[in-house]
Amino acid sequence: MDYESWTKDELIAKLRSLDVKCNEHVKRPPSGSVSPGSTPLADPAPPSDPAPSSDPASPAPPRKRKGRMVDFDFSRFPQRKVAFKFSYLGWPYHGLARQGNSLTSEEKHQIELTYPTVEGALFKALAHCKLITSETTCDYSRCGRTDRGVSGFGQVVAMYVRSTGKFITEEEARVIVDAGQEHLIIRDAQNGGRPVLLPSNEHELTYINMLNKSLPPEIRIHAWSPVAPSFSARFSCKSRFYRYFFPQSGLDIQAMQEAAKRYEGAHDFRNFCRLDPAKQIKNFERIVQSAQITRVSGQVKFVGDGQSEEGVWWQLELRGTAFLWHQVRCMMAVLFAVGQRLETPDVVDHMMDIQMTNGKPEYEMASDLPLVLADCAFDEKDVKWIRVRSPGRDSTNMVVLDRIVSKTWGELNTQAVIASALLQTVRDTQAPMLCERGSMDINYSLWSECRKQLLEADTQTVRVILGGGAIKQAKKYTPIMQRNRAEPVELRNQAWLERKTANKRARTDE
């Protein structure tokens, strides 16, 4: 067809007709096919049963057997690359990252059942909704890898998923490009180089609704965004924002704030992380854009300050471009030591001086439970988050999200209140107070008073706060800079390489 001779109005009319056909393809799939917006696994619904007879003597119509599950034909649908922003509560899971390809490997599937991960649940939901063909072919990337017990409020992943878009011919693609609408077309290797006409956001699959119906309540999809084929959730991220929650509990907050400020800037954090020689990391410099300790009640209205220090909550707010393995938990462990006046804020400077401290001192990192990956930041030109299907006209996704998260909060808050009431019951119990050796006079008092007396009398035990309710008791506290140290990073990396070479040589000789 000679489009070059067409007028502008004729080209626009042709474009509109193509758009109407695309919408009809979405709304009315061919007979016997699976609609992109419908449940993909079931056969088309059979004709409705005839109305039951009014004659009581007539036999009931026989029940029809449910349709047989058929294989889903992914080749009928184009794919597009999208990013998902989601939250999860980390304590039911053994970290974010899945244990290999659990969808196709039976061995990995069994590992996933024993040690469930957030990604394992996510991929299971993606497969159930028929959004991906496999874990290995969807170009999957994650922004930040969180460890066991760590939660996320703004985690981001990216991948290719099924779309309601339409495969079009090269001729149709030229018409759309000539009309100045080339942004409506994608053409990439995932679709075999074929041009794909993208649907409007309102006519795209309801990704948020579909996935949240298949995910457990502690994992929630918040938003999705179309992204470019070159987009990577990991390498396109500009900054990551962490929060670590802790009660005041006698801590010197001002000293902790002073120490936290020393983390800001570009520093070598090799003494604030866990080294994995297998990765052969040689550059431990990371940029911390901001590190501050603020009061929680000013930002989280659902947490109120109590009358005791245990009810006053604070948080470390940490923003940086990237972080090392266990870096935030190690940084927090040092801040706890400063807050207990076991260390001075100068210890941060000493540990970041690799000439003075060329080898990580032995110390236990802070608990994983209070740590949250709160947000991941991207350029606005790369990501435009979509939270509802029709902005200004539809709020269903947000209403459902709020309802599920409110229910989760209500359940956990109720558990916290019950545990608090139990603790108060224990503290209000009448218990015998300590008396002098040989004395027969035993006086009773509230256990809270007896406990206070015991803690004041016990000057030999040091209680080191690790966060999340964890406390390590020791007879003596050794300052961090005086403790035994690991070998320098360079030596540990070299030793691992030598072991790997020796093992490879031994297998070759066999």
Catalytic residue IDs: 147
Q: Which phi-psi region, left, alpha or beta, contains residue 232 (left: φ > 0; alpha: ψ -120 to 50)?
A: beta
- The position carrying tokens 């000789």 is 509
User: Measured between alpha carbons, how far is residue 395 from residues 86, 259, 353 in Å?
Assistant: 17, 44, 52
According to DSSP, residue 361 is labeled B
3-state class percentages of the chain: helix first, strand second, coil last, to nearest 5? 35, 20, 45
Judge whether 432 and 442 are in contact, CB under 8 Å: yes
- Quickly count: other Cβ atoms within 10 Å of residue 495's Cβ: 12
Distances 341 to 73, 256, 311, 335, 370 between C-alpha atoms, Å: 64, 9, 21, 10, 21
- What backbone phi and psi angles, to 5 degrees, belong to 348? -65, -45
Give the C-alpha separation, 141 to 129, whole Å: 19
**Distance between CA atoms of residues 381 and 498, nearest Å:** 46
> What are 492's two structure tokens?
């540990």
Name, in order, each residue with C-beta under 8 angstroms of 256's C-beta and a sequence gap of 6 or more: 293, 335, 336, 338, 339
Structure tokens at 5: 């001779």
Please give the Cα distance from 225 to 84 (Å, whole number): 7
Burial class (CB in 10 A: 0-12, 13-18, 19+), 320: buried
**Is the Cβ–Cβ distance between 163 and 36 less than 8 Å?**
yes
> Angle of helix 8-27 relative to helix 170-178, nearest 10 degrees?
130
Residue 505 β-bridge partners: none
